[in-house]
Amino acid sequence: MSPDPLDVFWPAAEVEAAALTIDEMASWPTGVFEALTKVGLLREGRTASRVTCDACGESHVQEVTPVRYRDGTVRFFIRCPEHGRVEVDRSDLLQWSVDFKSIVQFLAAELATEGDVQERVPRRVWQIGRAALAGRSRPVWMGRGLSWPNASTLSGFLPAGKSPVLLVLGGAPRAGVLSLPPDSVVSLGQVLTLSGGEFDLDRRAIEDQLSASRGEGKQKSPVKRASRAAAIDVLESDLPPGVGPLPITDLC
């Protein structure tokens, strides 16, 4: 069985800029790039302004100079101490940006949500509408980068209360970022897969987890907790002192 392309995707999604070059994707298993572009998770973006020279074997990083010709063509060059002016292929400079909309749109369709999808914080927080899950109508949200040092700046844009369900892309949320019961927070990495060119969502795992919070106040048995594979059980609580919110730099 071939590996799930999303296993490669999750670490890329944890980087704030979420843009990749061909160089960075060179180590990916065959077919992963194709699978991620097919579902729209990777989209062609801008060209990189710096690149590693591959003409001399010194692996020095150089500024790229685009040269525009009168017929409209553009070629890219770098300066190599050994080889002088070296042309670089546009495909080597192309950056691929991660487009999270494809996941949001899939979730909206798969969960048959009602209401508009709203990106509350660009590339970080999405409100996906309401869906019938575990016996009640619930607002569905998706959040990204909730484990990052600047996660607390998202607090005012995230859902709160007992009914919402928050699907989390990336690491477990930092302590104090969320005002939700732990069972309402689902790690997307545990329930979303990509195979045969299509996303697949383990809706049952989500509903099982949400149902677990119904018996609020009851003692939860260790066996039951262990069976909830999708739960983010450990909210990050041991922040080093002095770690404060950082500005969100990808708001534009």
Which residues here bind Zn ion, judged by CB under 5 A?
A: 53, 55-56, 80
Longest dimension (CA), the chain: 75
Distance of closest approach, residue 58 Cβ to Zn ion, in angstroms: 5
Give the residue with the Cβ less far from Zn ion, 25 or 55. 55
Closest approach, Cβ 53 to Zn ion, in A, equals 3
Distance CA 105, CA 70 (A): 42
Q: What's the min distance (Å) between Cβ of 117 and Zn ion?
A: 47
Give the whole-angstrom CA distance, residue 117 versus residue 105: 8
Rounded to 10 degrees, the C-alpha dihedral 168/170/171/172 comes to 0
Residue number, 23 or 233, with CB nearest to Zn ion: 23
Burial of 36 (0-12, 13-18, 19+ CB in 10 A): buried
Nearer to Zn ion, 82 or 250 (CB): 82
Q: How far is the CB of 62 from Zn ion (least distance, A)?
A: 7
- 14 sits in the region (left: phi over 0; alpha: psi -120 to 50; else beta) called alpha
We find the least distance from the C-beta atom of residue 63 to Zn ion, in angstroms, to be 13
3-class DSSP state of 15: coil
Output 34 or 58, the one with its CB closest to Zn ion: 58
The Cα–Cα gap between 18 and 242 comes to 27
Nearer to Zn ion, 83 or 204 (CB): 83
